[in-house]
Amino acid sequence: MCGLVTAVSRSAEHVFGKFKQGSIRLLSGLGVEGDVHLGETVKHRSRVAADPTQPNLRQVHLIHAELHDELGARGFDVSAGQMGENITTRGVDLLGLPTDALLRLGDTAMVEVTGLRNPCKQLDGFQPGLMAAVLGRDEHGGLVRRAGVMPVVLADGEVRPGDSIHVELPSEPHRPLERV
């Protein structure tokens, strides 16, 4: 399975969206250089308030551009970085990946998927109804989170729009993604 990086974004401050860049640098065990969520321990404010010593399993945020397309068709105006993602992808079923899937991004960067992003109410502050639009229900009534995946960085590297994404699945049995 392979795909493409369509955009990269970061923000040095706790603001809702992130700003598109020509490239970002991933740092092993830390995240995106210059991004507010960079670090070995949690940086998301709600997680810091609960326990600032937790490991940072949300070092990088990826969203599939196909979600932006779907949201656009439903009347939302959302583009790369605006939902807080660092890397926007196309052609990879991010939500269908198992826990611990590896993504090789560009020439040297590699991340390991830890789980699903849990969308928050800030989405509705950006555009009313957006939070409900990125949540759904499966055939058993269970909650389905569609706002991207969260990995940790295993190997340093520059990531740019146009870079390839190669997926390596872990050994079976695969564990489905859960909220992190």
Residue whose structure tokens are 């706002």: 147
- What's the length of the chain? 180
In CATH terms, 2-118+147-168 corresponds, of 1.10.8.350, 2.40.33.20, 2.60.120.590, 3.40.1280.10, to 2.40.33.20
| Domain boundaries, given as residue ranges, for the chain | 2-118+147-168
Q: Over its length of 180 residues, how does the chain's per-residue pLDDT go in tens digits?
A: 799 999 999 999 999 899 999 999 999 999 999 999 999 999 988 889 899 999 999 999 999 999 999 999 999 999 999 999 999 999 999 999 999 999 999 999 999 999 999 998 899 999 999 999 999 999 999 999 999 999 999 999 999 999 999 999 999 999 999 999
Q: What is the pTM of this model?
A: 0.96
* pLDDT value, residue 44: 85
* pLDDT value, residue 120: 87
Q: Are the CB atoms for 55 and 40 separated by under 8 Å?
A: yes
SS3 135: strand
Long-range contacts of residues 64-71, Cβ cutoff 8 Å, at least 24 apart: 64/88, 64/89, 64/90, 64/92, 64/93, 64/94, 64/95, 64/148, 65/6, 65/7, 65/89, 65/90, 66/90, 67/134, 67/146, 67/147, 67/148, 71/130, 71/133, 71/134
- Alpha-carbon separation of residue 124 from 79, 121, 130, 139, 158 (angstroms): 15, 6, 5, 25, 32
* pLDDT value, residue 45: 85
